[in-house]
Chains A and B, each alone.
Chain A
Amino acid sequence: MCAVSDDVQISVRKMDMRYRHETLLKDLNFDVHTQDVFVIMGESGCGKSTLLRHMIGLTRPRHGDIFYQGKSFWHCGPEQREEMMQHFGVMYQNGALWTSMTLVENVALPLKQFTTLTRRKIKHAVEFKLALVGLDGYGDYYPAELSGGMRKRAAIARAMALDPKILFFDEPSAGLDPINSKRLDELLLELRDNFGATIVVVTHELDSIFSIANNSIFIEPKVKSIIGRGNPKKLLETTDNPKIIEFLTRGERYE
């Protein structure tokens, strides 16, 4: 578990997370490989979003560290961290779109800030990203003028704006209709296959979990740690933990 092999994109080592004086999760160890679709599972409130916040550089872990391609993420200067963060694309659980900008402006902002593309190329790139999430023609809308699911999709488009190496999605398909949810799954696989993206997803969508994930961790708040890991299909076959079985079968599996 300690040697960091070549194709490991993210490795989390001995990480403790806490809010104020309460430890949320402790001694987390896991690896995300390049081009993984890595799913973080667990009941709501167990700390999945918090784990993502640590991984994307918003909250410093209490102990331990995260390594991106072997480079320490938290025991280095803020400049190096920012440099690494430029390769991330993040979709927050509640979208976190900038409410005073239209969708086009939301998706264009990263492009304007971090590339030297011409305005026309930015416009076309933004239109393409919005089309990918099925929001073609909604570019001039403000977030407040969209439905919840549409806002979620716009947030996904924004996360993809720079074709990042690593994509973090916090419950992307919660609130999406089955058709869009399926399109999203397809999109994630295409991004992985074509852009070589590594994708970390928090999701409860069982269909997605089984169809796109090739690796996962399962967080259990009672023991404040990971109680299951690996490909979800295999995990379900091999585990004897009733909690994981219940989660992955919605409690509908009969023995």
Chain B
Amino acid sequence: MDSKKSPKWSLDITTIDAGEMCLQLSGTWKMRANLPDIDIIKKSLGKHTNISKLRIDTSALKTWDTGLLTFLRDLHRLCEAQHIDYNPEELPKGVQSLLLLAEEAPEKYRHLFSSHRISLFEKVGTETLKITAIIMGIIIFVGDISLSLYRLFLGKARFLISDLILFFQEAGVYALGIVTLINFLVGLILAYIGAVQLSQFGAQIYIANLVSIGVIREMAPIMTAIIMAGRTGAAYAAQLGTMQVNEEIDALRTLAIRPMDFLVLPRTLALVLMLPLLCLYGDLVGIMGGGIIGVFVLKLSILRYSVQTLSSISIADVFLGITKSAVFGILIAVASCHRGMKCGRSAEAVGKATTSAVVTSLVLIISADALFAVFTNALGI
């Protein structure tokens, strides 16, 4: 706490003819005082080739801290390397005992081939192996989830019902606000886009068809899935990742509780069951969003708009939307839980797991949707 300026350090290097060099350390040797570098000693040793003995005079040394100790440690190493005689017993007692404490430590064997260079082939090979390992990991994870589900049907899966209810709540009711907002706006946007085009042909009433089919087949499932990937998928990855960091998952394993059943299964169930429900709800809200434009902006009558909407909705479309949602739910759950379970043991790893859970989910959702488009087209649904 004393901030008064302390006297400076000084280092005098003198050579005595008989191959002996004397270092005189005096003043205050504190870490923050811009202490000399060991290179100074190295240099003056280089000038006099025949030095075989080093003396250190610390009689005028006042206060010191780690700065002095690291300097002396470097000096010690230097002397060892250049086979120079050096007597540490001339140092103050405290310095000696602290240096000794640092040397005493059982030194770990350093990596023997740390400077080993990696060839391009080796790099390509290890990266390929890494990627295959990741893919294998995902396949195994999917297999594990399937086994978990199988155990669930046998009634053997062990998890907390209270957890499950919480996850339902978290992935269901609590998501309603954002799902409402986004789907409403998407319905509205669809209606606007259509309005400009269709009113050129005097076919405003077909806005109802555009909105209901667009929302039910594509927009509601996709948008809801994206929301849930960002909201719930990220949360799952972060929860499981943090549990991994704290060794909580290991603690479950040692109790012979399967983390797959206990952690992943309820989360997956929640997403797979809640996403279709949210999607149905999103259908409704989206159609309403479009309807608002139809009625208030395009001045269509509510009755006509409703009838047109109802006539344009087919059960097949609704089922398609729900099926998509369920598939997206599985994809999000698998991607997020997989990332969480495979998380490393650091704060940074949790961040990475969360990011990668969301990104993977989004890629999977959009790819799956494209596949759906191709197949439904081929099947004429």
Name A residues whose Cβ lies closer than 8 Å to a Cβ of B.
68-69, 71, 84, 87, 98-100, 115-118, 120-121, 124-125, 127-129, 131-138, 142-144, 162-163, 165, 183, 186-187, 190, 193-195
Which has the most chain B C-beta neighbours within 10 Å: A135, A187, A194? A194
Which 3 A-B pairs give the minimum distances between C-beta atoms?
A144-B345, A100-B348, A137-B108
Q: Which of chain B's residues have a CB closer than 8 A to the CB of A84?
A: 1
B314 to chain A, nearest CB (A): 52
Is the Cβ of B1 less than 8 Å from the Cβ of A165?
yes
Q: How large is the interface on B (under 10, 10 to 19, 20 to 34, 35 or more residues)?
A: 35 or more
**How far apart are B341's CB and chain A's nearest CB, in angstroms?**
16
Name the contact of B103 in the complex, choosing from A131, A138, A162 (C-beta under 8 A).
A131
Measured CA separation A133–B107 after assembly (Å): 11
**Nearest residue in B to A140 (C-beta to C-beta)?**
B111
B373 CB-CB contact with A under 8 Å: no
Min CB gap A70→B, angstroms? 10
Q: Which residues of A contact B45 (CB under 8 A)?
A: none
Closest Cβ of chain B: how far from A112's Cβ, in Å?
13
> Which residue in chain B gives the minimum CB-CB distance to A163?
B65
**Chain B nearest CB: distance from A99 CB in Å?**
4
Compute how far the CA of A116 lies from the CA of B102 in the bound complex, rounded to whole angstroms: 24
Residue pair B31, A142 in contact (C-beta under 8 Å):
no
Contacts of A194 in B (CB 8 A): 64, 94-95, 98
Cβ contact within 8 Å between A124 and B70: yes
A195 to B97, alpha carbons, bound, how many Å?
13
> Residues 252-292 of chain B: 1 if any A CB is under 8 Å from the residue's CB, otherwise 0?
00000000000000000000000000000000000000000
- In the complex, B106 has a CB within 8 A of chain A: yes
Evaluate contact between A138 and B345: CB separation under 8 angstroms: no
**Contact pattern, B 27-38, Cβ under 8 Å of A = 1, otherwise 0:** 000011011010
Most buried by B among A84, A120, A124, A133: A124
B residues 12-38 near A (Cβ < 8 Å) are 31-32, 34-35, 37
Q: In the docked arrangement, what's the CA distance between A143 and B110, Å?
A: 18
Cα distance, A186 to B98, chains bound together (Å): 9
Query: Shortest beta-carbon distance, A42 to chain B, in Å?
Result: 26
With contacts A84-B1, A100-B346 known, is A132 near B70, CB below 8 A? Answer: no
Contact yes or no, A183 B69, CB < 8 A:
no
CA–CA, A186 to B103, complex, Å?
Answer: 14
Within 8 A of A (CB), among B148-187: none
Q: Could you tell me the distance between the alpha carbons of A135 and B105 in the complex, rounded to whole angstroms? A: 7
Measured between alpha carbons, how far is A103 from B94 in the docked complex, in Å? 26
A100 touches B95 (CB 8 A): no
Partner of B98, one of A115, A132, A137, A142: A132
Mask, B59-77, CB within 8 Å of A = 1, is: 0000011110110011000
Asked whether B245 lies within 8 Å of A99 as measured between CB atoms, the reply is yes
Residue of A nearest to B346 (CB): A99
Inter-chain contact B101/A137, CB cutoff 8 Å: no
Q: Is the CB of B101 within 8 A of A129?
A: no
Cβ of A125: which chain B residues have Cβ within 8 Å of it?
A: 31, 66-67, 70
